[in-house]
Amino acid sequence: MTAAVTLSPVEYLPPLALKDSQSERTESSQAQLLWCDRNHAGRHSLEQFIAGGFAAAYDARISHFMPHLLAVTLHGQWQAVLGIRSGLAPRLFVEQYLDADICTVLSSAGIQTQRAQVAEIGNLYASGRQQTLLLFIAMAVALYQQGYRHLVCCATPTVMSMLSRHGLQLNVLAEGDPSRLGDAAADWGSYYQRHPQVCQLDLAAAYQLIMAKPQLQQMLSGFLPLLQSAGASLSEQAGH
């Protein structure tokens, strides 16, 4: 599954305010938060949004997508998306870059865990940095509440810097080496010129930080009901 994390080159958009509902629209923003599995009616359109975003940013040809996608729409248009996969899946995308399975690599870094506590994110694309941060922290909170303790991804320095500014530190595990992908590396265009790295986020530390920052808590307003349901859905379908 594609696990690269990217930022859109287009301009900043303001944060979205959502009601406490899985798909209700707010009276002011008309924004909608959607959890899309492979059978969701909007899945194909959302995959096209991801592919188009990566093509515009890196001239990449993305054709593989995470089994679960969390997305924000505004006035009928996709605004942001983040894909996720449980660590119980037979293989994570980032494991292609590693010399051992994710738990062995984490153990070598002094982090003891099991696959059931690991989640991988990818397919992250947004029309602005604010949506990227919002989806990231919302998913981090929801995953932590479902028992996940470690988030892994392949992130560019841009994403790492953005999260770091808010106190969310990604720990580098390995280089995102395109040679590990074989012929598939050609599909990524200029993406690897950004020097992405395989990273881990401590979800317990992230959760404590987010809960201690009113600004980040405010960004989550209205997102948690659906995200809690999404996290439960991910756990139920882990390994698929």
Enter the DSSP assignment of 240: -
**Residue 189 phi, psi dihedral angles, 5° rounding:** 55, -130
Instruction: Decide if 114 is inside a domain.
Output: yes
In the beta sheet, which residues pair with residue 74?
A: 31, 77
* Residue 22 domain flag: yes
* 237 is a domain residue: no
Residue 184: domain span: 4-227
Residue 6 has pLDDT above 60, yes or no: no
Provide the mean pLDDT of the chain. 83
Distance CA 126, CA 109 (A): 31
10 pLDDT higher than 70: no
When pLDDT is cut at 50, 70 and 90, the band that residue 18 belongs to is very low
Indicate whether 102 belongs to any domain. yes
Q: Which two tokens stand for residue 156?
A: 């560019």
Judged against a pLDDT cut of 60, whether residue 29 lies above it is answered with no
The CA distance from 181 to 70, in Å, is 26
User: Cα–Cα distance between 225 and 240 in angstroms, integer?
Assistant: 23
Task: Give the pLDDT confidence score for residue 12 in this predicted structure.
Answer: 25
Is 42 within a domain? yes
Q: What is the mean pLDDT of residues 116-128?
A: 92
* Three-state secondary structure call for residue 29: coil
Q: How many domains does the chain have?
A: 1
Task: Tell me the pTM.
Answer: 0.82
Q: Give yes or no for a contact between 142 and 230, defined as CB atoms under 8 angstroms apart.
A: yes
**Higher-pLDDT residue of 146, 20:** 146
Of 63-67, 71-75, 165-169, 172-176, least confident by mean pLDDT is: 71-75
Angle at 210 between CA 206 and CA 213, to 5 degrees: 140
The pLDDT of residue 127: 82
Task: Report the CATH number at residue 221.
Answer: 3.40.630.30
Q: Kindly state whether residue 68 falls inside one of the protein's structural domains.
A: yes
User: Of 59-73, 131-145, 146-160, where does mean pLDDT reach its minimum?
Assistant: 131-145
Q: Chain centroid to CA 27: how far?
A: 27
Question: pLDDT value at position 138?
Answer: 81
The reply to whether 238 falls in a domain is no
What digits encode the pLDDT tens for the residues 60-104?
A: 999 999 999 988 888 888 989 999 999 999 999 999 999 999 999
Is 94 among the domain residues?
Answer: yes
- Contact (Cβ atoms closer than 8 angstroms) between residue 65 and residue 2: yes
| Residues across the chain | 240
